[in-house]
Amino acid sequence: MNETFGMANAAAALGIGMLVGLERERHKGRGDSRACAGLRTFAITALLGYVTVQVGDGLLLGIVAMCLALLLTVAYWRNLGNDPGITSEVALLTVLVLGALCGTAPELAIAMGVVMAGLLTYRQRLHHFARSQLTEAEMRDGLVLLITALVVLPLAPDRFIGPYAAINLRTICTLTVLLMAVGAVGHIAVRTVGTRYGYPISAIASGFASSTVTIAAMGHIVAKEPVNIKVLSAAAVLSNLATVTQVGLILGTVDPGLLRPMWGSLSFGIVTTALYGVCLMFPKPTGGAEEPIKVGGAFNLRLALIVTLTITAITFLSSVMLSYFGQVGVMLTAAFTGFADAHSSTASIASLAKAGQIPFDAIAGPALIAVSSNSLSKCVVAWVSGGRRFAAYVIPGQVLLTLAMWVGLLLH
């Protein structure tokens, strides 16, 4: 058994070396300007790393790595006049370490080897994307998202603080990161898919920040492009997919157990909204919009911060209402705040449930009340922003969504 296991690990090391070596062999060049390592060198180096760990320890691996680095340095200086770069040299050292890693964690080593081979293979496309496709605003938003997710979020304390113990900084930071992340994913989808489905995909992506604002934006576009009223109406209705999905994401982020009483409502709402939106989209009208919605950064940081502050305020208000009026107070708060934003109401209700102030099974009613009042406000926004024809398409979709979610709750 042990011998078989050792042979499998050695084969994994050899496979990693050959995979990366094949890619480097295709781009090493010929003659005096060729790179210092190819298929055989990478394969041997991976096996060297594996054997070094088997016969020695980390110290021996470090000595071998230093010797290899010295050889690579000499080879680099010999070809310095040809501007060779250091990609192959760094890849060779990485293969040595991955070969050593195959002795203890072959699955991880193989995964990292495949990723490295992919990065080497698509280097030209990556260079083109970084230099020509990625905008300054997208780069800035990506850095903000990474800093928030990898630096700020881990430092946020995971405990309830403040009056009535209603505020959890870790939960608030997590929801903020979630809001920015889904906005970035939607932005990438719009850039990737292109023109035909630009409006619906952009509406769904924007809906994660504010479906109400998205419906208003689609209504304003109708005034400029009345021929695309069905496509824009479908986009407005489909933005509710973001609302329903984000309700589920918020509940699951706060505590996965909160999803149990809401599965039926969320499923019925998503299916009904998707069917209604698709029926409006197809068949696609002639002369439809061919220009994608123009967007700046990957997400709206200002809007994300506003939503975060709104969630904090509503959570505190719901806790106060619960303290003085019980669960009836929570439902009243959900109804009134839902007119502005269903996400914030859901987050506040979920936070109260996680804090133990209301039972998990009692969140479905207040959550659906918030969604229902938010749906009513969307109907008004659709009429005001897009006129009667636009509202005639959007309002039935909002009514069907609300009814479907309540039916899902009753059946559940």
Mean pLDDT over each residue of the chain, to the nearest integer: 75
- First-to-last CA distance in the chain? 50
Least reliable range by pLDDT among 9-23, 170-184, 255-269, 368-382: 170-184
Q: Is the peptide bond before 154 cis (omega within 30 degrees of 0)?
A: no
Are 95 and 41 in contact by the 8 Å Cβ rule? The answer is: no
pLDDT tops 80 at residue 284: no
What would the pLDDT profile of 110-149 be if each residue is shown by its tens digit? 999 898 888 888 877 777 666 766 677 777 877 888 888 8
Of 199, 197, 202, nearest in space to 187 by CA: 202
**pLDDT confidence band for 292 (50 / 70 / 90):** very low
H helical segments located in 197-262: 198-224, 229-254
DSSP string, 55-123: HS-HHHHHHHHHHHHHHHHHHHHHTGGG---SHHHHHHHHHHHHHHHTTT-HHHHHHHHHHHHHHHHTH
Q: What is the pTM of this model?
A: 0.51
Q: Whose structure tokens read 């619906």?
A: 200
Instruction: Quote the distance between the C-alpha of residue 328 and its chain's center.
Output: 35
**pLDDT confidence band for 211 (50 / 70 / 90):** confident
pLDDT tops 90 at residue 266: no
CA–CA dist 254, 79 (Å, integer): 56
The alpha carbon dihedral of 356, 362, 366, 371 has a sign of positive
Instruction: Quote the distance between the C-alpha of residue 179 and its chain's center.
Output: 9
**pLDDT confidence band for 195 (50 / 70 / 90):** very low
pLDDT tops 50 at residue 291: no
Q: Whose structure tokens read 């260079």?
A: 127
Give 212 or 342, the one with higher predicted confidence.
212
| Model pLDDT, residue 124 | 77
CA–CA dist 355, 346 (Å, integer): 14
| Model pLDDT, residue 295 | 46
The vertex-62 CA angle with 61 and 64, nearest 5°, equals 65
CA–CA dist 230, 394 (Å, integer): 9
37-41, long-range: CB < 8 A, 24+ apart: 37/88, 37/89, 37/91, 37/92, 41/92
- Residues whose CB falls within 8 Å of the CB of residue 155, separated by 6 or more in sequence, listed in order: none
Instruction: State the DSSP code for 161.
Output: E
Give 350 or 29, the one with higher predicted confidence.
350
CA–CA dist 218, 326 (Å, integer): 39
pLDDT tops 60 at residue 174: yes
CA–CA dist 136, 117 (Å, integer): 28
Report the b/e string of 227-266 with b at 16+ CB within 10 A: ebbbbbbbbbbbbbbbbbbbbbbbbebbeeebbebbebbb
Looking at residue 302, its amino acid is R
| Model pLDDT, residue 276 | 93
- Residues whose CB falls within 8 Å of the CB of residue 129, separated by 6 or more in sequence, listed in order: none
CA–CA dist 9, 14 (Å, integer): 9
What would the pLDDT profile of 325-356 be if each residue is shown by its tens digit? 655 555 555 555 555 566 666 766 676 677 66
Locate 175 and state its tokens: 């929801």
120-126, long-range: CB < 8 A, 24+ apart: 120/20, 120/23, 120/24, 120/27, 120/87, 120/91, 121/23, 123/87
DSSP string, 327-367: HHHHHHHHHHHHTT-HHHHHHHHHHHHHTTSS-GGGSHHHH
| Model pLDDT, residue 338 | 52
